């Protein structure tokens, strides 16, 4: 049972509407800490993207359901469908994923 009530279930993610960015990571992860300000900067100009930050750990079901093995892992979705997955992404990969999410149709 999840102690973090804010963490969505896989079913909720699959049923989500519109653009969603799932970010899997850990607060102590150096790669996650390095990406955080860059990601925030890119997302600042895209308020239409719902950003869900998931504190992941071994055995967490949501991360495992998406095959997360390294942090940070970004999952770009629209209407519950995965459009792009980026593992330990560089800034250009983040921008590419956001670009995919913000395209109409």
Q: Which amino acids are annotated catalytic?
A: 29, 32
The two three-digit tokens of residue 7, written as one number: 């963490």
Q: Tell me the residue ranges of DSSP E strands in 6-98.
A: 19-25, 50-55, 73-78, 81-87
Closest CA to 86 of 78, 75, 95, 101: 75
């Amino acid at each position: 049972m999840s102690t973090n009530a804010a963490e969505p279930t896989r079913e909720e993610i699959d049923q989500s509407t519109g653009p969603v960015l799932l970010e899997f990571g850990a607060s102590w992860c150096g790669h996650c800490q390095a990406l955080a300000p860059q990601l925030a900067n890119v997302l600042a100009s895209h308020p239409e993207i719902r950003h869900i930050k998931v504190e992941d750990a071994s055995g967490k079901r949501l991360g495992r359901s998406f095959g997360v093995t390294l942090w940070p892992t970004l999952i770009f979705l629209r209407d519950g469908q995965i459009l792009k997955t980026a593992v330990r992404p560089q800034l250009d990969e983040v921008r590419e994923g956001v670009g995919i999410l913000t395209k109409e149709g």
